[in-house]
Structure 1
Amino acid sequence: METQTRRPLLGCIADDFTGATDLASMLVRSGMRTVQTIGVPDADQAIEADAIVVALKSRTIEVGEAITQSRAALDWLRAQGCRQFFFKYCSTFDSTDAGNIGPVADALLDALAQDVSQGFTIACPALPENRRTVYHGYLFVGEGLLNESGMENHPLTPMRDPNLVRVLQRQTQSKVGLIPFETVSRGEHAVREAMARLRADGVRLAIADALSDADLRTLGAACADLQFVTGGSGVAIGLPDNFRRAGLLEATAEPARLPAVDGPAVVLAGSVSKATNVQVAEWRASRPALRIDPRALARGEAVVEQALAFVEAHLHGEQPQPVLIYATATPDEVKDIQAELGVAAGALVEEALASIAQQLKARGVRKFVVAGGETSGAVVQALGVQILQIGPSIDPGVPLTVNVGTEGGSGHEPLALALKSGNFGSVDFFAKALRYANGERS
C-alpha cells in the first residue's frame, strides 16, 4: 500500500530569521511537526510536515520588495497545500510608519481574499512568556510601555508609540480596529462576535489584546475560520488545537532528537538591544571576546581578518575555548555611530559577521550562536543553510536547530545553530546555548 504524503496544514511567513525559529519552536511545543526554510524554496520542492515556516529577511527592506518576497512565499505555501496562513512579526512590533507590517499584511490579505472573500484578520504581537502583553491596544514590555523598553532607540525600527492601533493605522489604508481585553476575557464566542461586528464596520485589521497564554488560546480558537492570521509567535499556540479538533492533526511524540554535531563553536552578536548588551557583558566578564568597530569597517581596515585570527588563536590554543565576536553597543554609542555613518553602519556589521561565519565554517567551525534578527539572516544566508530542523528550546523563543539542507546538495556536514532575537534570552544565554549545542541540557 502506498504511503500518503503528509500535507502541511499551517503555512507561515516570518519577516526575519530569529522570528522564524521562535515561531517554529512554538509550533513544535504545541505538537506540530515543523520545518523552517531559509527563503522561498524552489517551486518543485515538496516538504512533508504539519507546519512550514518560511524565513524571510524582509522586516527592514524596502516596502515593495517586502511585499514581493512575502507574496512569493505565500504562493509557494499555497502550492504545498496549506489550509491556513500566518504572517509572523516581532513581539515588539518592529516597523516604521511606512511599514512593513501593515503593507505586507494588506498584500497577503488581498491575495487570499481573491479566492475566499476573507477581508479581515487580527494583529497580536503578545508573547506573555517573554513579558510582551497588549492591553487596550498598548504594547507593554514587562511593566513598561514599548516606547520605554529600549526599543525607542532601535537603529532601524525605533518604536516610539506604544499604541498599536495608531502604529498600524499609519502603515495602511485599511481601517484598523481593536478587540479589547474585556472581550477576549469573555472567551472565544465573544471574540468571534466582535470580529463580525468589526468586519461589518469595514475594519480589515484588528489589534487584539492578550495578557496571558490563555488569552492567546482564546484568540487562536476564534481564528479557526480565518484563512489568514497575523501576530507574534504567541498567537500560534492557539492554532494547532483547531486542526486537532477538526481531526486533521495527528498526535505526535516529542520533537525528533537532533543529530549530534561535532566541531568548534563561535558566538556572533550584531544586536544592540538591552538584552544582548547584558549578555555580551556577562560573557566578557570571564571569556574571550572581540568587538567589531563599524567605523573601522567603513575605513576599509582588515577587521574580518583580525576577527578570524582572534578566533583561531583561542580555538586552537593551549586551552581551546569558544569566543564572542560582537558589534553590540550602548544606545549612546549607536547614536554616535549613526551620526557618522548613517544606517549603513548596520549593513557593514552584518556583512562582516556573515563573512566571518562563512570563513569559519570553511575552517571547521560547526556550531554558531547568533544574536540579532538581521545578523542571523545575514549569517544563515552566508552559511548556505536552506532548511532547519527544530529542536529543544534553549530559552523561550529560541530553539536549538540543526540544518538539514545547504547549498551544494545533501552531503553537507551538519551545523548546529541557535538564532536569537536581540531582546530574547537569559543573561547567560550564550554559554547556555553552547551547552545545548554540545548535547548538554543543564
Structure 2
Amino acid sequence: MDIAVIADDLTGANACGVRLAELGLRTMTKFHWSEHQHYTNDTEATIIDTNSRYLDKTAAKERLRSVIDEYRYIGVRNFAKRIDSTMRGNVGAEAEEWIRAFNNEAIAVIVPSFPDSNRTVIGGYLLVDGTLLQHTNLSKDPLTPMTKSYVPDLVRAKTSLSVAHIDLKEVEQSVSDLKNSFHQCIADGFRILVVDAITNAHIEKIATVMVASKYRMNPFDPGPLTTAYMNRKMKNLNREDKIIISIGSANELAEKQTQYFIERRNVSPIIVDPEKFIDPTKCMDEMSKTIKKASDHLEQNNIVLITTIKPNQKRLNFRQLEEEWNTSVNSIAQRITEGLAMITKEVIAQNPEVKGCLTSGGDVTASLCSLTNANGIELLEEINPLVAYGKVNGGDLNGIKIMTKGGSAGNKNTLDHCIRALETRIVN
C-alpha cells in the first residue's frame, strides 16, 4: 500500500510517520521535498517535509502542488496532509491547492484534534489543555501568533473556498448518519470540511466514514486521523480484494523479480510445469490441479502467484522440444502461454473476490484476453516503463483491473512495486 503524507515541518512529519510505522508500514521521512528521485519502491509510506509552515501562502501552495503531482505520477494513490495541531501554517491555502491538484474531486477533511496531546475541537473551537487556543502562549508566537480559536475561520482566512463545519452533535451520531452529514455538505458544494472531535473514538468514527464514502476524502490532521484512515484502508484491502499474478516470462530478470517478491511479501508461489502444457495427455490434468491449488490458496490469502519459474531450475530447451514434439517453437510457446491464461481465467471465474490481475509477458496477456473474449483493455495509467494499468473491456473478465508488465521491464523491485500499486487501485 503506497502512501504519501505531506507535512509542513520535519518534527510533525516524523510524529505522523512513526504512527504509520506502528501499523507495520515501511515508513520514511523525506527532508528534501524537491528531490523526488530519492523515492524508493521499498517504502510503503513516505512523509514529505515541504518546510513551508512559515512561507507565504503562494510559496506553500507551489511546494505542495509539486509534491502531489510528482507522487501521483509515480503511482501513489493514498494521500494525506499533516497539519499542525494548533493550526499554524497555511492550512486553508493548502486545502484549496490540494482540491485543485485532484481536479476538484478531493474533499479536505480538517480535524486538528489530537486527544492524546490534549488538543480537541468542540463547536469548531480549538482547545489546548482545555483552554481556547487564543488564550494560550501561542497567542504570543513571534512568527504566527494564534489570536483566534474558531477553526473554520482560521481556515477561511487563507482560502476563497467555502468551509463547512460538522459539529460534535453530528459526530456523535451513527456512522451512517455521520456519512449522510458529510455527503450533504458535499452536495451543497463544500469541499473543505472542519470536523469536531474530542476523543480518539470520534476520530476513528470519522475515519470509518471517510473510507466508506464514495468520495475521495483526504485527512488534514496532526496524525491520529491519518493513521486511523490508512489503517482502515489496509483492513478493507486485506479483507475483501484479492489479486492473481500470472508470470510466463522466462528470463533471469523475471526470476529475480519473482524471488524478491516472494521473499518480501512472504508469498507461497504455485509453480506449474510448463512441459506438461506441451503434452496433450498431461495438459488438462496440470491445469485442473493448479486451478484447485490456487482457489484453495485464496481462501486464506490475498494474493496468488502462478508462475512457470522455479528458482535455479534449468530453462526449457525450445529447440530440443521442437524436435521431440515435431512442432514449431512458436507453437510450443503458445501452448504454455495459453495454459497459464486458461488457469488465470478459471481462477478468476471461480473466485469472485479476485478484483485485480497482473500478467507478465505479452503473450500471456494476449492469450488471456483472447480466451475470455475481451474487446480490449481500457488503459488508465503507466505505472512504470513497460507496465500499464487499466480495466478489461468486455468478455468474461469485464471490469477486472489489470496490470500488464513486460517480461524484461524494470529491476528486481518492480514486481513488488507493481503489486502494491495494483492493491491500492483495486480499493479505490
TM-score band by shorter chain is 0.5 to 0.7
Query: Within 1, Cα distance between the matches of 2:151 and 2:202?
Result: 18
Q: Percent identity at matched positions? A: 23
**Corresponding position of 1:110:** 100
Query: Within 1, Cα distance between the matches of 2:48 and 2:148?
Result: 29
The unaligned stretches of length 5 or more in structure 2 are 242-428
Alignment equivalent of 1:55, drawn from 37, 49, 52: 49
Letter in 2 for 1:18: T
Cα deviation, residue 227, structure 1: 4.7
Q: Secondary structure at the match of 1:203?
A: coil
Query: Within 2, Cα distance between the matches of 1:46 and 1:15?
Result: 18
Q: Is the 8 A contact 1:84 1:227 kept in 2?
A: no
Alignment equivalent of 2:219, drawn from 221, 229, 249: 229
1:322-353 CA-partner distances (Å, limit 9, x unpaired): xxxxxxxxxxxxxxxxxxxxxxxxxxxxxxxx
Query: Within 2, Cα distance between the matches of 1:32 and 1:227?
Result: 21
User: What TM-score, normalized to structure 2?
Assistant: 0.52
Aligned residues: 236
**Corresponding position of 2:70:** 76
Query: Within 2, Cα distance between the matches of 1:191 and 1:77?
Result: 31
Write the mapping of 1:375-394 to structure 2, written as runs, cut at 5 A: none
Query: Within 2, Cα distance between the matches of 1:133 and 1:31?
Result: 27
Query: Within 1, Cα distance between the matches of 2:105 and 2:38?
Result: 28
The unaligned stretches of length 5 or more in structure 1 are 1-7, 251-442
**Corresponding position of 1:16:** 9
Q: Is the 8 A contact 1:136 1:209 kept in 2?
A: yes
**Corresponding position of 1:33:** 26
Letter in 2 for 1:190: D
**Corresponding position of 1:209:** 196
Write the mapping of 1:156-235 to structure 2, written as runs, cut at 5 A: 156-224=143-211, 225=213, 226-235=216-225
Q: Is the 8 A contact 2:203 2:224 kept in 1?
A: yes
1:143 paired with 2:136, answer no
Q: Is the 8 A contact 1:26 1:236 kept in 2?
A: no
**Corresponding position of 2:58:** 64
Query: Within 1, Cα distance between the matches of 2:199 and 2:22?
Result: 17
Q: Secondary structure at the match of 1:87?
A: strand
Q: Point out the structure with max Rg over C-alpha.
A: 2
Q: Is the 8 A contact 1:85 1:227 kept in 2?
A: no
Q: Secondary structure at the match of 1:126?
A: coil
1:185-219 CA-partner distances (Å, limit 9, x unpaired): 22432222111111111212111111111111111
Q: Secondary structure at the match of 1:171?
A: coil
**Corresponding position of 1:92:** 86
Letter in 2 for 1:155: P
Cα deviation, residue 229, structure 1: 2.5
Cα deviation, residue 41, structure 1: 5.4
Cα deviation, residue 38, structure 1: 0.7
Structure (1/2) with the larger helix percentage: 2
Alignment equivalent of 2:39, drawn from 21, 24, 46: 46
Query: Within 2, Cα distance between the matches of 1:187 and 1:39?
Result: 42
Query: Within 2, Cα distance between the matches of 1:248 and 1:16?
Result: 32
Query: Within 2, Cα distance between the matches of 1:187 and 1:9?
Result: 30
Q: Is the 8 A contact 1:46 1:80 kept in 2?
A: no
